[in-house]
């Protein structure tokens, strides 16, 4: 019935109908193109996320390999150390009472034995804790038998 009305209508009505059909067809094409573009963008975003994960994994591998190379370089340099010299430095270190000389000998040992940055840090932290608890200004005299506990530091 609507078709009969349009076909029997004026020329202008028929043109409007044709234009409406053409617009509907264009709208359908735009909607399909938009859907396709959205699907393509989603696929690209997924691929990008996958590549970023792969890149992060490769960055971790590179960091591990750099650590391993550094460790092997230190090991190689350690092989050329004169053991007699190392022994003499160790004897000096172990028999030394002067803290500044001991610190110097620690640096010499760290160089000879090619300590890693983490090992140097661990030694430094250990020395700091040791110095705090065992420095002469922190040590207390032992209590007297049967008497009160004195709170005076030991003299150096």
The region that residue 128 occupies, defined by phi over 0 for left and psi between -120 and 50 for alpha, beta otherwise, is: alpha
Alpha carbon distances (Å) from 150 to 133, 136, 156: 18, 15, 17
pLDDT at 130: 62
pLDDT at 133: 58
90 Cβ neighbours under 8 A, 6+ residues apart? 109
Mean pLDDT in residue range 83-110: 89
Radius of gyration of the chain (CA): 41
Contact 137, 151 (CB under 8 A): no
Structure tokens at 126: 């250990």
CA 90, 95, 101 angle in degrees (round to 5)? 80
The Cα 69–Cα 63 span in angstroms is: 10
The Cα 46–Cα 56 span in angstroms is: 15
pLDDT at 83: 84
Residue 142: is its pLDDT beyond 50?
no
**pTM for this model (two decimals):** 0.43
Residue range 113-131, pLDDT digits in tens: 888 889 889 988 887 766 6
* Minimum mean pLDDT range among 93-102, 113-122, 147-156: 147-156
Residue 145: is its pLDDT beyond 70?
no
Residue range 68-94, pLDDT digits in tens: 998 888 888 777 778 888 899 999 999
The three-class DSSP label of residue 153 is strand
pLDDT at 84: 87
pLDDT at 134: 56
CA 5, 10, 15 angle in degrees (round to 5)? 95
To the nearest 10 degrees (0 to 180), the angle between helices 83-95 and 99-112 is 160
* Minimum mean pLDDT range among 44-48, 127-131, 150-154: 150-154
Structure tokens at 68: 């391993």
Domain boundaries, the chain: 1-76
Residue 4: is its pLDDT beyond 90?
no
pLDDT at 132: 57
């Amino acid at each position: 019935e609507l078709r009969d009305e349009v076909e029997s209508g004026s020329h202008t009505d028929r043109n409007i109908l044709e234009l409406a059909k053409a617009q509907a067809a264009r709208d359908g094409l735009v909607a399909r193109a938009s859907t396709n573009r959205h699907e393509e963008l989603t696929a690209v975003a997924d691929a990008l996320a996958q590549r970023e994960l792969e890149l992060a994994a490769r960055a971790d591998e590179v960091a591990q390999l750099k650590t391993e190379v550094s460790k092997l370089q230190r090991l190689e340099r350690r092989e050329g150390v004169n053991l007699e010299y190392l022994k003499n430095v160790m004897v000096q270190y172990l028999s030394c009472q002067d803290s500044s000389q001991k610190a110097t000998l620690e640096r010499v040992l760290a160089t000879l034995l090619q300590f890693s940055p983490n090992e140097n840090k661990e030694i430094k932290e250990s020395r700091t804790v040791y110095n705090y608890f065992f420095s002469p200004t922190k040590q207390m005299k032992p209590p007297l038998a049967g008497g009160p506990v004195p709170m005076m530091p030991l003299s150096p």
